[in-house]
């Protein structure tokens, strides 16, 4: 049986220094030593054909903080998001395929948006999300890639209450470079 773990792909390294994330963004717990589970979410601004990228925001959050923060979402928001994904047949199919085939997949990170199918190289903006343990990626959990369009649609699933909560939260713990403020102010962390 194949190992559930693999080295962390460089795409999930911190943009700032090109190294793996070392601490939980919220509680500051060290992530690389030991066996604790954590998640990384990054939104990349891409300039197709120019070979340059910016990061809109990026963070690593430990399992415990992720669990606590999912409770910030209102019932209504959670139901809307669930309904959104339940209607994405291509996405559901790829998740199912991945669950059956992950031991054979050597490069798990999708090269296209899992909802719209657009190639990563053609997207102005996209988000990647993955599950990690210590200095490894948990490859039995499918890493996601979503286009900016999907992030917008997910944003529309959120109730006003959840939006306010997430905005406060974002302002407290996150924050991108000032020159990209317009971008990251329009984005909320999605997955925890």
In total, the chain counts a number of residues equal to 192
Least separation in angstroms between CB 11 and Zn ion: 22
Least separation in angstroms between CB 77 and Zn ion: 22
Nearer to Zn ion, 26 or 154 (CB): 26
Helix or strand or coil: residue 16? coil
Nearer to Zn ion, 67 or 75 (CB): 67
Q: Tokens representing 100?
A: 């059956």
- Which value, to the nearest 10 degrees, does the dihedral of the CA atoms of residues 190, 23, 14, 61 take? -10
Nearer to Zn ion, 85 or 173 (CB): 173
Nearer to Zn ion, 65 or 127 (CB): 65
Phi, psi of 44, deg, nearest 5: -110, 135
Binds Zn ion by CB under 5 A, chosen from 65, 154, 158, 166: 65
Which helix (H) or strand (E) segment holds residue 147: the answer is: strand 144-147
Q: Is the dihedral of CA 146, 151, 153, 156 positive or negative?
A: positive
Binds Zn ion by CB under 5 A, chosen from 56, 62, 128, 142: 62
128 binds Zn ion (CB under 5 A): no
Least separation in angstroms between CB 23 and Zn ion: 8
CA 186-188-192 angle, 5° bins: 175
Residue 4: how many other CB atoms lie within 10 Å: 14
x/- site string to Zn ion, residues 21 to 60, per CB under 5 A?
Answer: ---x-xx-x-------------------------------
Which residues of this protein are in contact with Zn ion, per CB under 5 A? 24, 26-27, 29, 62, 65
């Amino acid at each position: 049986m194949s190992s559930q773990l693999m080295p962390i792909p460089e795409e999930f390294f911190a943009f700032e220094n090109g190294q793996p994330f070392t601490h939980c963004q919220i509680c500051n717990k060290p992530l690389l030593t030991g066996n604790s589970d954590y998640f990384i979410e990054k939104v990349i601004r891409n300039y197709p054909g120019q070979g340059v990228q910016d990061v809109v925001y990026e963070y690593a959050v430990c399992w415990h903080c992720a669990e606590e923060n999912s409770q910030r979402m209102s019932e209504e928001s959670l139901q809307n998001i669930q309904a959104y994904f339940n209607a994405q047949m291509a996405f559901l199919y790829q998740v199912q395929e991945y669950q059956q085939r992950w031991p054979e997949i050597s490069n798990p990170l999708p090269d296209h948006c899992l909802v719209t199918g657009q190639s990563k190289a053609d997207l102005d903006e996209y988000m990647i999300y993955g599950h990690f343990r210590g200095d490894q990626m948990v490859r039995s959990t499918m890493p996601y890639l979503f286009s900016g369009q999907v992030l917008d649609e997910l944003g529309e699933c959120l109730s006003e209450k959840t939006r306010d909560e997430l905005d406060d939260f974002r302002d407290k713990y996150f924050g991108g470079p000032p020159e990209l403020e317009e971008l990251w102010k329009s984005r909320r962390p999605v997955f925890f």
